[in-house]
Structures are given as C-alpha cells and as structure tokens.
Amino acid sequence: MNAILKSKEISIAMIVLLLCITLTFLSPYFLTVDNLLDVLKGNAVLGILAVGMTLVIITGGIDVSVAAVTSAVCVIVGKVMMLMPDHPISILLLFLIGPFLGVCLGALNGLLVAKVQIPAIVVTLGMMSIINGLVLYITNGQYLNSSSFPTVFIKFASFEMFGISIIILIFIAVALLTWYILKYTLIGREVLAIGGNKDSAIRVGINFDKVQIFVFSYMGFLAGIAAIAQTAYTKAVDPNGMLGLELMVIAAVVLGGANIMGGRGTILGTVLGVLLLGIVQNGLILAKIDTFWQKVFTGLIILLAVSYDHIQYKRSKDKLAKIEVEA
C-alpha cells in the first residue's frame, strides 16, 4: 500500500486533482462534462503520440520527428481521401494506409539508429527537416478542407459512442493496446528490460537492435493513427498545423514520470502527463490569460515538474549507493 501511495503516478494524479479543484474555483465552466470531454478530445492526438514516445524514451532513445511524420501522413491521407469512393470501406483503407506509411518512416529511423548507429536525436532531427521540407514543397503550404473529403469520413469524424467522440475512443484504445504490449508480450518485456539495465539485457540474449527498430516502428505506427485522428478532429489538413508538437509530446511523457535518459516510464503516467498539460492549457484559456503568458506558464510547469522529478530520482540513486557502500 505504501509503495502505491509513493508511486509517481499517484503523485501526478494528485497534482491533476488539485489543479482541477483550483480551476473549478477560477471558472464555473471548467468542471463540466462537455469541457472535460473537449480537453480529452483536443489532446487525443498528443496522447497517441506520447504513448508511442514512452516506449522510445524507456529504451533511452528520442524521436523529434513524430510531428513531421504525422503531418506527412495527414497530407497523404488527405490526398488519398480525395480519390476514394464515398463508401465505409474507405475508412478501413485509411486505417491500413496511414499506419503503414507511419511504420515505414519509423522503421527507417530505427534502422539508421540501430544498424548505422547514428544517435537517435541526429537521425530524427534530420528526418524532421527532410519531411517538413517535402510536405511544404508538395502542398505549397495550402490547406485541404472537408469539402474535398468523402461524406463517410465526415460522419466517422463526428461519430460518438455514449457521448464520447471517436477520437477519444481511439486514444483510449491506443493506450490500452500499448499497455498490454508492455506488460504481456515478449517484445514489451524486452523494452522494459533494456530500460531497466541495457547491459544486463544484452548479456541475457536480448537483441538491442531489434528492440530499437521495434520502438521506432511502433512510434511511426501510432503517428499514422494520430494522423487520422488529427484529420478527423480538424476535418482538414494543415501542413503547418503540427509544427512544434514534438516538444509537447516529449514534455507529456517526462511529466508522466519517464526519465528522459531512459530506464523509466509507464503508459498510465504518460496519460496523466497528457491530462496535466491539457488541463493547464484549458484552465488558462478559461481564466482568459493571454496566449503568450499561457506558453510561459506551461513551460514553467514543465520545467518545475521535470526538475523536481530529476532531483527525487537523483536522491533515490544516492541513497541506494550509500546503502551499497555501507553494506
């Protein structure tokens, strides 16, 4: 029981709860079902990408190309939809095409990191620049709006189950699937083993290159899913709409308790980190804080939360080292 109460997830959940109570006093509109569902819907794409980023960060990697990959898939999906028949099978095809494209781009990142042994930050920065440049060249910075999309996709984007948007349901499904992979599959256990102790994991026979390729490919897979969710949310394709989102994705994962250097992270923590960011931004909007102050305040929260987490983690390591020396 004490271990549960001291867990990182409980700490984040308590912060989220206190923040909700505070914002309820600041704005009577905050603690309403519609507003809370809007917060979830507005941050579902961020959440999908953050869930994938969790696996990358656990293994000690980083992927700053996620927003660029998602934008690229959005553009391709938008172009493909313009050619598709107005039939339900078009939605199924989108969920095959989008993730497939994402996996291809993610696997390319993984191969360069694992086989060519280029640092992940270098590979994904280069990929981000290449993809953003190609997307702007192909689209000339122009939007694709809903008038170009099949009616069946617009209906899909507006679909709700028990009042919950399909976009939120996709986010929940992705989080549950990834949690299951980490907890109950061999590759998931290998990801956690490498996160726990890379050298020991390699010594017991875990293929580090295979795991790296998997986590980057899975990140690409979820970027493909996120592209469909983003297109459904905006009912349009904006080539510049996701610039800078990769920083928020990484921030959500780190706020959720993951160690940016690798070795630590959970799906529940990441989901709570996404909620924390979403609630902060929503609360600042309801409080009618100017946009530039919203960014400053959000940045401060991220900096303070990550600093506190790093200090606590360092203290626990120092305490463990002291115990080992005394023993």
In a 10 Å sphere around its CB, with 0-12 CB exposed, 13-18 middle and 19+ buried, how is residue 189 labelled? Answer: middle
**CA-CA distance, 246 to 68, in Å (whole number)?**
8
Contact 91, 158 (CB under 8 A): no
pLDDT at 280: 85
Q: What percent of the chain has pLDDT over 90?
A: 42
Question: First and final CA of the chain: distance in angstroms?
Answer: 27
Single-letter code of the amino acid located at 140: N
CATH number of the domain within which 140 lies: 1.10.3470
Distance CA 189, CA 181 (A): 8
Dihedral angle of Cα 128, 130, 132, 133, to the nearest 10 degrees? 160
Measured between alpha carbons, how far is 107 from 225 in angstroms, rounded to an integer? 15
Are the CB atoms for 60 and 199 separated by under 8 Å?
A: no
Q: What is the pLDDT of residues 238-279, one digit of tens each?
A: 888 888 888 889 889 988 888 777 777 889 999 999 998 898
Distance CA 247, CA 7 (A): 25
Instruction: Count how many domains the chain has.
Output: 1
Burial status of residue 19 (CB atoms within 10 A of its CB: 0-12, 13-18, 19 or more): middle
Residues 105, 101, 239, CA angle at the centre, nearest 5°? 85
Of 105, 53, 103, 81, the closest CA to residue 256 belongs to 53
pLDDT tens, the chain, 327 aa long: 444 445 677 878 888 888 888 888 877 777 788 888 999 999 999 999 999 999 999 998 999 999 999 999 999 998 888 888 888 888 899 999 999 999 999 999 999 999 998 999 999 999 999 999 999 888 887 887 767 788 888 898 889 888 899 999 999 999 999 999 999 999 999 998 888 777 888 888 889 899 999 999 999 999 999 999 999 998 888 888 888 888 889 889 988 888 777 777 889 999 999 998 898 888 878 777 777 777 787 778 777 766 766 676 677 666 655 555 555
Q: Which two tokens stand for residue 163?
A: 């009042």
Residue 8 has, within 13 A of its CA and on its CB side, a CA count of 25
Domain that holds residue 220: 2-326
